[in-house]
Each structure stands twice: as structure tokens, then as C-alpha cells.
Structure 1
């Protein structure tokens, strides 16, 4: 399953770079998003080293099917708007 990193989880003046909001393909409501909680998420960096940052879906975010994911380390800004694999 594929998803797109929408943004970091953030407040008015802070952002948590190890937490992200992900929009998942073919998920349109909160009930479907809550079924994904606990699944693994992986982002693979472009370039020759193919650095892999993995995380876990922690909860649904909003009513339109987005989810929150908690990553091991902070994800870089170049990951925003890119695809992730949901396993």
C-alpha cells in the first residue's frame, strides 16, 4: 500500500520531525484509517545510499483518512510530498 507524506506533526511554533501526517491512497474516512494503526511505514531516500527510515502508524488524523506515523529518527524536509510504503 502507498501513502504520501503530507507534513510533519506540528503546532503553531514547533514541529516534530520524527512524526508525520500521511495521506493513504484509497482510504477516505477515519474508520478505514484506524484499521492501519500498528502497520509499518518505510521511506527510502533517493541517491546511491538508499537510506531507509522506518516507523509505525500510531493513530488516525482527522476525518478524511489521514494517519499519523512515528518514525525512528527525524525525516528530512526532502521527504515531504514523497511516497512511503505501508507494510
Structure 2
């Protein structure tokens, strides 16, 4: 089995009255439709801070109609993670 790594970007934190600090909306460059984004569902997501700590998560589902993904991390993401890159491991 070959492991493929794709770079993506954290677009936003999922919003709501409850506060979803563990959920992030991710954009993959070149993916514009929900059909193209479907191949990334259940992929592993890793965000690395500048200090070297890692926060690991998983892509849950497609978010919206324009190829965005909803990922849930094991721990909450800090504010510095917004706009930062993550690795998608397929």
C-alpha cells in the first residue's frame, strides 16, 4: 500500500454557539467540487506547530459544495493554526 501526502490549508474553525475548537474546515488546492473532495474523506490530518508539536485528526466529511472538508482533531487547535498548512495522508 502506497501512502500519499497532500498539502492543504486550514481555512476556518467550525462555527456555532457551542464552540467547535476541535473541528476545522480545510481547503485542498486544486479541488473545486464536492465530487473531487470525496476521495479525501477518512484521510488522516496532521498539523505541526513551529515548536514541533503535532495535532492529529481525521477528515469526517465534505463541507459545502465547493470542495471543502471538515476535519476533527484529537485536541483543540490554537488560533495560530488558522491559515496554516496541514498534511493529508491518504
Q: TM-score, length-normalised on structure 1? A: 0.92
- Confirm whether residue 59 of structure 1 aligns to residue 64 of structure 2: no
Q: Is the 8 A contact 1:8 1:15 kept in 2?
A: no
Q: How many pairs align?
A: 84
1:4-44: CA deviation from partner (whole Å, max 9, x where unpaired):
10111112x34300000001111110011111100000000
More strand by share: 1
Deviations 1:50-69 (A, max 9, x none): 00001000000111110000
Partner of 2:29: 25
Stretches of structure 2 that go unaligned for 5 or more consecutive residues are: 1-5
Gaps of 5+ in 1: none
Superposed CA RMSD? 0.9
